[in-house]
Amino acid sequence: MNQLAVELRGVSKAYGPIVANRDVSLRVRAGEVHALVGENGAGKSTLVRILYGLVPADAGEIWVRGARVAEPSPARAIALGIGMVHQHFMLVPALRVVENVVLGREPTRRGRLDLPRAATELSALSDRFGLRVDPWRRVEDLSVGEAQRVEILKVLWRGADILVLDEPTAVLTPPEVRDFFQIVRTLVGGGKTALIITHKLDEVMALAERVTVLRRGQTVAELETAKASAEEIARAMVGRDIAAPRRAGAAQLGEVLLEVRDLSIGTALSGVSFAVRGGEIFGLAGVEGNGQSELALALAGLLEPEPGSVRTGPPGPPAHIPEDRHRRGLVLDFLVEDNLILGRHLEIWGRAVRPHAERALSEYDIRPAQPSAPTRALSGGNQQKVVVARELSRRARVIVAAQPTRGVDVGAAALIHERLLAARADGCAVVLVSAEIAELRALCDRIGVLYRGRLVATLDGPSATEDELGLLMTGAREGAAP
Amino acid sequence: MSFLLQVVRITIPYALAALGGALSERGGVINIALEGTLLVGAFGGAVGAYYTHNALLGLLCGIGAGAALQLVHGLACVRWKADQIVSGLAANLLALGATRFFLKLCFDSTANSPRIAAWRTGAPFLIMALAAAFLAHGLLYGTRFGLRLRACGEHPEAARTLGVQVARVRLAAVALAGALAGLGGVWLAFDQHKFVDNMSAGRGYVALAAMIFGKWRPLPACAACLLFGLAEAAQIGLQASGIGLPTQLVQMLPYLMTILALTGGGGRARGPAALGTPYEAE
Amino acid sequence: MTMRRALLGPLGALLVATAVGSLLVLAYGQAPAQVWMLLLRGTWGNAYGIGQVLYKATPLMCAGLAVALPLRAGLFNIGAEGQLTVGALAAAVVGAHAARLPAPLAILLVIAAAALAGGAWASIAGGLRTRFGAHEVITTIMLNFLAAALVNWLGTRWLYLREAQHTAELAASARLPRLAVLASALHGSAASLALLVALALCGAAAWLLFRTRLGFEMRAVGLSPLAAETAHIALGRTTFVALALAGALAGVGSIAFVQGYKYYFEEGFTGGVGYMGIAVAVLARNHPLAIIPAALFFGTLSQGGLVVNFLVPKEMVDVLQAVVIVAVAVASAQLGRRGRA
């Protein structure tokens, strides 16, 4: 079974000045589980979107089962038996499961849709692969795990035998992840080929036979998981030994600046309590979708918690580095100087704007160092530095930083870490929400672990091990009560 | 009996335009251009019937004119991504200006066309409107095209990943909307046996209101049209019998009810999720 | 976007409109060149023509602002027509009763009445949006029809003169002087000092948008509601204020007619100016200062139609206006897209 199901040759793609893929090659053998790994922003998603015909490549060739694909398009990909499960589900919430599944390839009888027949066939397909879901329910009423099953069913319904799964576990709960693993094994056992895009190495080691590593848009390694260690793959992904700045000495603890008690928000968070003192960085670890986004928004005063919750802190909003800098952190069509006063425009206005911007640009080494540059034109790292510069220049005593280095280049990440540590040294209370265990261990004095909306453990930062955190985050081990 | 006839007379153009609006908006294209479409439909119908001396050919001309205007709107905002509201308003302005211009050119008049050959009865229109209502319902919920159309209105990216050509589906829906509203316009002209300047007189907006009141669904939208038609006919009846209910209050009714529907009276009216957003493949 | 790029759309639109217009002229059996020359000479070629263009451009500026300002905050106000109508009626009624006030005060009072009434009418849409999330596009359209019916009802029932379909005339002290008092050559045209008010409002709107915190907040909300919310900008308040201000601007648009020309309110005087405000805003790309040339352009077309009416029907210019709007809308979508890539 060494025939290639999919081969990409010399694929390149640039978005303006930003190169997403440069001369990438990828070889997926028929009947294998192949992992495509890389850090955030390494170009994985762009590559599979090219493969599926959603994005035209600037250069390069797509080969499927030994034949070159002349004009790639989603319709062509489907015809070739390629099915894609998108990271952000491509489901129409207002439609029923069966309608979503048949869309684009609808069975008809005398010109009319034949949904009952489709539903019957769908049930058979569900049974065969263990993908239970009611065909007549509306997608908006489904859980995330169920929605993903619908996505996979969509692909199977089209008779795909090459499945492209883009970060399939990012939004799943651990039991759902286990179910998902089982589903993939069943599919591959039944003769399908799977290409899984991920940045979680435990999944790679557990599922994949071979792995291709992307770094900064380029293929840097193609390994067999049986012969490679997780550490080896990690080094290939990162391309450096992570040399994060460390805390300088023990925390000079001050008084409690931020305290939450019994904080609950809908189904996202229940009964979370913790307190952060001045001079410490309190980390919040958790796999995405376990309530940390909601918690950060609530701490910033943007989400109203359920009654009964108690939040105490200094008056005024905390400094807040939001998780989603494109949508929440910045107005991309504003000038840089405008973004540097966004939310502070009541204090900084008129003649004060320009000097404020110039100071921030030089202090944070933001490039280009032009206050009147359009923010959209900046790179991701520089955009994030604009957000960090604005928020930290507030001199608020409490700082909430959510995923502050996600999708940011190494230099910018180091600078952001340095500034957070400086704030700690100044006696601020810092809450750092992150999915990067290395970042948390390097910076935090204490680390709380969120799992399914609960704070399941609070560990001492310096002594917490990667394994311990990983097990707690995935619910594999229950923590001691915080 | 005459009261019922009056209701039907008033409701037919509302219903046909509202059906067109529902098809277009369920596919994601805002349709403010219904007003102009009724107008060009009426004009096309009148011109066609006048020159061919044949009502059926006139009817086809009206339908064609409606579809053509909507295609202009569709090309501008689906193919070229112009703002749908701006494009719709421009289509209305175009319809008003063009019908006046050609009224002058064809009939040398600023007020109306000469008498045209039209059917003496509204029965064919009643039948066509009823058929259109059920066909639109069947099309939207029972066919391949309808499912794709709804998907394009809710989540065009999802539709595209399954190989659906979003722009093409939306253009087809808009053309269909033009044909339906054009037919409604033909009725306006045939009913009076002539074209009168600006004879749509805001009916397209009432139809839009009815469509929203019917929550973007064909049959409830038609029911709303019937309701508005009933109120209007009742008001005309009362006026004739000398009972003074201010005309204006009845005129306000459709608009007030639409606002009520938008504020949550009788269940919140929520449009298709991707309504008004141009879809662009990379 | 660079200046040259911003001009590309309007120039292209003008070209397309000229081509379409020439076809229409030919269809009517006239020579396009002759008609275009006549159109230009009848508008910008003599003092009266210029005065009429200025008169027509005045309410267009206000209506254009009434669309452009809320659009900056992400709100599409299609209700300028209704706001203008309501403002006009209020201005006429107040002006008719202002006989005992001195001129400057009476004039200001009438303008204030127009602004307040227009603003209040638009606030209904603002309230519906902030309280119920009702989309302003639909509510403002509905409010236009409600305004027409309401005004008709109030007028025929109470306010119109017995013998005519309009209100009583404004007191002499409440009337705005004609522009001819400043430039005597304009004598005979309907242009009044309302033009200066409209120009001042364009300047004021630009100042508001680009120099004040409120304008900053409006732009932030318009460009990225989530980022604005994260920056603790009150979305509801900004939305409401933007729409209320828009209504006030539209309302003031009525003074060119009520206070500067006819001195009374009559139905249908707007002639769709409120809707044309959308065209003006589109052409000006929502920049308050660009509103001025855009309004002058549409004013020229509208007056030019009357000038050439004896050769080709004046409705030709309605078609041209529509063509310009579509072309500019398409161009800004296409250029904006490429500019962002």
- Here the ipTM equals 0.91
Let me know if residue C254 belongs to a domain. Answer: yes
From first CA to last CA, the distance across chain C in angstroms is 12
Nearest neighbour of C231 by CB, restricted to A324, A332, A342: A342
Asked if B276 contacts B85 with a C-beta cutoff of 8 angstroms, the reply is yes
Kindly list the distances between the CA atom of residue A166 and the CA atoms of A55, B61, C65, in Å, as whole numbers in the listed order: 15, 51, 47
B150/A92 CB distance under 8 A: yes
Q: Closest Cα of chain C to A297: distance in Å?
A: 9
Task: Give the Cβ contact number of residue C33 at 10 Å.
Answer: 10
Please name the chains neighbouring A, where neighbouring means 3+ C-beta pairs under 8 angstroms. B, C
Q: What is the largest CA-CA distance in chain C?
A: 63
Asked if C18 contacts C321 with a C-beta cutoff of 8 angstroms, the reply is no
Let me know if residue C313 belongs to a domain. Answer: no
B201 touches chain C (CB under 8 A): no
A338/C216 CB distance under 8 A: yes
Nearest CA in chain B to A116: B142
Q: Quote the CA–CA distance of A209 and A202 in Å, as a whole number.
A: 13
pLDDT band for position A63 (cuts 50, 70, 90): very high
Let me know if residue C20 belongs to a domain. Answer: no
And the tokens for C73?
């905050």
Task: Give the Cβ contact number of residue A482 at 10 Å.
Answer: 15
3-state helix, strand, coil in chain C (%, to 5): 75, 0, 25
Mean pLDDT, chain A, rounded, equals 88
Kindly list the distances between the CA atom of residue A254 and the CA atoms of A96, A314, B120, in Å, as whole numbers in the listed order: 55, 14, 92
Nearest CA in chain A to C234: A343
Mean pLDDT, chain C, rounded, equals 93
Lowest mean pLDDT among A104-108, A240-244, B106-110: A240-244
Kindly tell me if the per-residue pLDDT of C338 is higher than 60.
Answer: no
Nearest neighbour of A90 by CB, restricted to B161, B272, B281: B161
Please name the chains neighbouring B, where neighbouring means 3+ C-beta pairs under 8 angstroms. A, C
Nearest CA in chain A to B273: A94
Determine the pLDDT at residue A481: 43
Asked if B163 contacts B43 with a C-beta cutoff of 8 angstroms, the reply is no
The burial class, CB within 10 Å (0-12 / 13-18 / 19+), for A465 is: exposed
From first CA to last CA, the distance across chain B in angstroms is 58
Q: Closest Cα of chain C to B96: distance in Å?
A: 8
The stretch C208-237 carries a mean pLDDT of 96
Phi first, then psi: what are they for A376, rounded to 5°? Answer: -60, -30
Phi first, then psi: what are they for C85, rounded to 5°? Answer: -65, -50
Determine the pLDDT at residue A465: 81
Chain A residues close to C224, C-beta within 8 Å: 327, 330-333
Let me know if residue C41 belongs to a domain. Answer: no
Q: What percent of chain A stands above pLDDT 70?
A: 93
Interface probe for A, chosen from B161, B168, B279 (most Cβ of A below 10 Å), is B161
Nearest CA in chain B to A72: B163
And the tokens for A125?
């397909």
Between residues A471 and B169, which one has the greater pLDDT?
B169
pLDDT band for position A438 (cuts 50, 70, 90): confident
Task: Give the Cβ contact number of residue A327 at 10 Å.
Answer: 15
Asked if C176 contacts C260 with a C-beta cutoff of 8 angstroms, the reply is yes
C323 touches chain B (CB under 8 A): yes
Structural element, H or E, at residue A448 = strand A446-451
Asked if A453 contacts A270 with a C-beta cutoff of 8 angstroms, the reply is yes
Q: Quote the CA–CA distance of B195 and B43 in Å, as a whole number.
A: 6
Owning domain of residue C114:
55-280
And the tokens for C183?
């430039």
Cα-Cα-Cα-Cα dihedral sign, residues C53, C55, C58, C60: negative
Our CA angle for C303, C309, C311, nearest 5°, is 135
Q: Closest Cα of chain A to B258: distance in Å?
A: 23
Q: Closest Cα of chain A to B164: distance in Å?
A: 6
Let me know if residue C49 belongs to a domain. Answer: no
Our CA angle for A272, A252, A283, nearest 5°, is 30
Q: What percent of chain A stands above pLDDT 90?
A: 55
Nearest neighbour of A317 by CB, restricted to C217, C219, C232: C232
The stretch C42-49 carries a mean pLDDT of 94
B135 touches chain A (CB under 8 A): no
Q: Quote the CA–CA distance of A420 and A429 in Å, as a whole number.
A: 10
Lowest mean pLDDT among A242-246, C61-65, C294-298: A242-246
Interface of C with B in 9-28 (CB under 8 A): 24, 27-28
Chain B residues close to A106, C-beta within 8 Å: 144, 147
Residue burial C297-316, b: 16+ Cβ < 10 Å; e: rest: bbbbbbbbbbbbeebbbbbb
Task: Please choose, from the candidates A275, A195, A165, the residue with its C-alpha nearest in 3D space to the C-alpha of residue A29.
Answer: A195
- Bond into A368 cis (ω within 30): yes
Kindly list the distances between the CA atom of residue A156 and the CA atoms of A152, A451, C110, in Å, as whole numbers in the listed order: 6, 32, 70
B251 touches chain C (CB under 8 A): yes
Between residues A407 and A366, which one has the greater pLDDT?
A366
Total domains in chain C come to: 1
Chain A residues close to C230, C-beta within 8 Å: 300, 302, 320, 322, 328-329, 343
Lowest mean pLDDT among A12-26, A460-474, B29-43: A460-474
Q: Closest Cα of chain A to C234: distance in Å?
A: 11
Asked if A221 contacts A213 with a C-beta cutoff of 8 angstroms, the reply is yes
Say how many residues make up chain B.
282
Nearest CA in chain A to B146: A113
Task: Please choose, from the candidates C66, C23, C12, C21, the residue with its C-alpha nearest in 3D space to the C-alpha of residue C326.
Answer: C12
Q: What is the largest CA-CA distance in chain B?
A: 63
Chain A residues close to B163, C-beta within 8 Å: 73-75, 78, 104-105
Asked if A195 contacts A4 with a C-beta cutoff of 8 angstroms, the reply is no
Asked if C152 contacts C166 with a C-beta cutoff of 8 angstroms, the reply is no
C227/A301 CB distance under 8 A: no
Q: Quote the CA–CA distance of A462 and A481 in Å, as a whole number.
A: 19
Determine the pLDDT at residue A1: 44
Q: Closest Cα of chain C to A104: distance in Å?
A: 28
Residue A464 is classified by DSSP as -
Determine the pLDDT at residue B159: 94
Instruction: Indicate the SS3 state at residue A108.
Output: strand
Determine the pLDDT at residue A478: 65
C227/A345 CB distance under 8 A: no
And the tokens for B99?
């019908």
Nearest neighbour of B255 by CB, restricted to C142, C322, C334: C142
**Look-up of token digits 């081969």:** A7
Summary count for chain B: helices (H), strands (E): 11, 0
For every residue of A136-192, DSSP letters joined together read: TSBGGGS-HHHHHHHHHHHHHHTT-SEEEEESTTTT--HHHHHHHHHHHHHHHHTT-
A136 touches chain C (CB under 8 A): no
**Look-up of token digits 């039907």:** B8
Nearest neighbour of A86 by CB, restricted to B146, B161, B163: B161
**Look-up of token digits 């002229």:** C25
Please name the chains neighbouring C, where neighbouring means 3+ C-beta pairs under 8 angstroms. A, B
Structural element, H or E, at residue C6 = helix C3-27
Asked if A52 contacts A77 with a C-beta cutoff of 8 angstroms, the reply is yes
Task: Please choose, from the candidates C171, C55, C184, the residue with its C-alpha nearest in 3D space to the C-alpha of residue C106.
Answer: C171
Q: What percent of chain C stands above pLDDT 70?
A: 97
Determine the pLDDT at residue C223: 95
Kindly list the distances between the CA atom of residue B111 and the CA atoms of A23, A138, A446, C79, C317, in Å, as whole numbers in the listed order: 69, 53, 82, 28, 18
Nearest neighbour of A346 by CB, restricted to C213, C226, C227: C213
Let me know if residue C324 belongs to a domain. Answer: no
Kindly tell me if the per-residue pLDDT of C339 is higher than 60.
Answer: no
B121 Rama class: left (phi>0) / alpha (psi -120 to 50) / beta: beta
B vs C, Cβ pairs < 8 A, gives: 136
Let me know if residue C221 belongs to a domain. Answer: yes
And the tokens for C278?
């959308």
Low-confidence ranges of chain B (pLDDT < 50): none
Chain B residues close to C28, C-beta within 8 Å: 105
Interface probe for C, chosen from B75, B89, B110, B216 (most Cβ of C below 10 Å), is B89
Q: Quote the CA–CA distance of A138 and B165 in Å, as a whole number.
A: 24
For every residue of A5-47, DSSP letters joined together read: EEEEEEEEEEETTEEEEEEEEEEEETT-EEEEE--TTSSHHHH
Lowest mean pLDDT among A29-38, A437-446, C59-68: A437-446
Q: Closest Cα of chain C to A300: distance in Å?
A: 8
pLDDT band for position A326 (cuts 50, 70, 90): confident
Instruction: Indicate the SS3 state at residue B134.
Output: helix
Determine the pLDDT at residue A232: 82
Asked if C311 contacts C35 with a C-beta cutoff of 8 angstroms, the reply is yes
Our CA angle for B27, A96, A167, nearest 5°, is 95
* Residues of chain A in Cβ contact (below 8 Å) with chain B: 52, 54-56, 73-75, 78, 84, 86, 90-95, 99-100, 102-106, 108, 111-113, 154
Let me know if residue C295 belongs to a domain. Answer: no
